[in-house]
Chains A and B, each alone.
Chain A
Amino acid sequence: MSDTPRAAYLPEGLPSPVPENDGLSAPYWAGLQQNRLLVQRCPHCTTWQFGPEWLCHHCHSFDVEWTEVEPRGRIFSWERIWSPSHDALRGRGPYLAVLVELPHAGHVRMVGNLLGDPLQTITIGTDVEGVFEHHHDAVPRYSLLHWQAAG
């Protein structure tokens, strides 16, 4: 895991993530801004859950807790995106999105970008570690979680 200042992986101008009006995902987005990855876990039945919901999908307890987990996992799937579908991405060239599963957190999955050469060969199952990308100057400010091959 690293947190050194670096250029953002994608150009500015894409939509900024914010919690829903009801605040369901607010702890997740706040956690990223503090270099912490938070995932819901049910203290009653130990079920992990991501994205968040108001109750545990297994035992229906409403006491699901946000639990900090190490931002590491393995590539479950990937895509190399060539066609821009947003004005901010025109001329950006190909970029990589990966779906990463977290075996130590109930195999929940999350989408991020894979840092490095956009033309790199990608193997499903490769171990990756998280890299927080902070957009402190954005209004509202937010942070993202990217991935890179585990060193």
Chain B
Amino acid sequence: MTARATGERTLRGRVAVIGIGETNYYRHGASPDPEFKLALKAILAACNDAGLDPREIDGFSSYSDDRSDAARLAAALGIRRLSTTTMQWGGGGGGCCAAVANAAASIVAGLADCVVVFRSLAQGQYGRFGQAGGIGTISGERAYLMPYGVLAPPQRFAMRVRRYMHEHGVRQEAMQAIALASYHHAQSNPRAVMFGKPLDPEKYNASRWIAEPFHLFDCCMENDGAAAIILVPEERAGDFRNKPAYVLGAATGAGYRSGAMPHNSPQYASASFETLAPALYRMAGISPADVDVVQSYENFTGGVVMALAEHGFFKPEEANDFLVLDNLIAPSGRLPLNTSGGNLAECYMHGFELVIEAVRQIRGQSVNQVKRNDVAMVIGGPMVTPASNLLLGSGATL
């Protein structure tokens, strides 16, 4: 793994994460603070973590139509010069890595010098993400679904996972293992909303069905909070308090007609990474065997099964053998997964808590620290279009 020549079109080694910050994480609707205040708190926490004057920030990047407007943030923080403001298209967590990539690209292209990437959510203030109510008529994609009672996210994704299980013989236990891994890690993480609430196979199996094949514990939580990271050019990476985590690669988008609605994407039984995973490895110059730890967005556990297979960690037909709890836990499982508890058990910050956990692993600061920690992967938004992914590395990888 070597640094690339200047002029080559890559993010590899050009940008570093030098600050991470988050608010307390709350059950949905339980935040004492409004959403914009949460965003400010997370950004200031990231600045404090870095040892950076917030006025040096000159750009903002977010996703999923974040309501904390970049111009208002810049004014509220007294930022002297606003240089880049990017919003990744797409809902949910498909953009949690793309927002980092867009910020990194702004820096590499010379548009900005110090960019905050963030997500803020207060569902008590704005209503629950997954609930559909109070709508009289509906058009577009949802018109083909909602009148049939296919309304909420679990109902919109269960058939994709069912088809994948059918095509590859994946069993319920593979999904269960992903839920168990997230809950296992959350028990060591006092930040986690599910800290002190362990999960075992009996409890998983006894939990109610939301939409078959999803039990309650296959579905992400809904939470309030905010999370932020700060990116600077590689040449400034050493100027701050903490060990830098370098962007090794990122990719966003999806394959051929992935967005064909309703449910008409050619690669239906897919998490949308068939083009993104090769692009990510190509940019980073590594292979799946080089990845030490993975944070993979769990909207639903079935999406994680698909996403991990598409990133080459196992073949779909090997999912039942690979996806067992021992393989998925820190410090030394074959592929430690969602080591903070993830969307299922730490906090559903639309995956941005996963980006922060990847940085902690590179720094060696996770409460579930893995033994090998030079390369950390984040996978955002399985089954949505556009999806995204990200590889972070220590200085030793450059």
A79/B151 contact (C-beta < 8 A), A16-B137, A18-B143, A111-B145 known = no
B159: chain A residues at CB < 8 Å are: 77-79, 97-99, 111
CA distance A30 to B155 in the complex (A): 26
CA distance A51 to B100 in the complex (A): 32
Verify A86–B209 contact, CB threshold 8 A: no
Verify A111–B211 contact, CB threshold 8 A: no
Question: Which of B138, B155, B261 is the one whose CB lies under 8 Å from A81?
Answer: B155
B126 at interface (Cβ–Cβ under 8 A)?
no
B141 at interface (Cβ–Cβ under 8 A)?
yes
CB distance from A128 to the nearest CB of B (A): 14
Verify B132–A85 contact, CB threshold 8 A: yes
CA distance A10 to B163 in the complex (A): 24
CB distance from A28 to the nearest CB of B (A): 9
A80/B212 contact (C-beta < 8 A), A16-B137, A85-B155, A87-B133 known = yes
CB distance from B284 to the nearest CB of A (A): 32
CA distance A110 to B144 in the complex (A): 8
Interface membership of chain B positions 124-157, coded 1 if the CB is closer than 8 angstroms to chain A and 0 otherwise: 0000001111011111111111111111101100
Which B residues between 290 and 305 are near A, CB-CB below 8 angstroms? none
Question: Which of A20, A83, A99, A142 is the one whose CB lies under 8 Å from B147?
Answer: A142
B158 at interface (Cβ–Cβ under 8 A)?
yes
A109 at interface (Cβ–Cβ under 8 A)?
yes
B147: chain A residues at CB < 8 Å are: 10, 14-17, 142, 144
CA distance A77 to B139 in the complex (A): 23
- Name which residue of chain A comes closest to B153, CB basis: A85
Verify B144–A85 contact, CB threshold 8 A: no
Verify A83–B208 contact, CB threshold 8 A: yes
Interface membership of chain B positions 249-264, coded 1 if the CB is closer than 8 angstroms to chain A and 0 otherwise: 0000000010011111
CB distance from A111 to the nearest CB of B (A): 6
A29: chain B residues at CB < 8 Å are: 143
Verify A82–B212 contact, CB threshold 8 A: yes
Question: Which of B132, B137, B148, B162 is the one whose CB lies under 8 Å from A78?
Answer: B162
B209: chain A residues at CB < 8 Å are: 80, 82-83, 94
A35 at interface (Cβ–Cβ under 8 A)?
no
- Name which residue of chain A comes closest to B158, CB basis: A79
Verify B131–A111 contact, CB threshold 8 A: no
Which A residues between 58 and 96 are near B, CB-CB below 8 angstroms? 76-83, 85-87, 89, 94-95
A142: chain B residues at CB < 8 Å are: 147
CA distance A9 to B145 in the complex (A): 14
A31 at interface (Cβ–Cβ under 8 A)?
no
Most buried by A among B131, B142, B146: B146
A contact residues vs B (CB 8 Å cutoff): 10, 14-21, 25, 29, 50-51, 57, 76-83, 85-87, 89, 94-95, 97-99, 108-113, 124, 140, 142, 144, 146
Closest 7 CB pairs of A and B: A85-B152, A17-B143, A15-B138, A79-B158, A77-B163, A77-B159, A82-B209
**9 sampled A-B residue pairs with Cβ under 8 A:** A10-B148, A16-B138, A18-B139, A21-B139, A86-B149, A99-B159, A111-B263, A113-B149, A144-B147
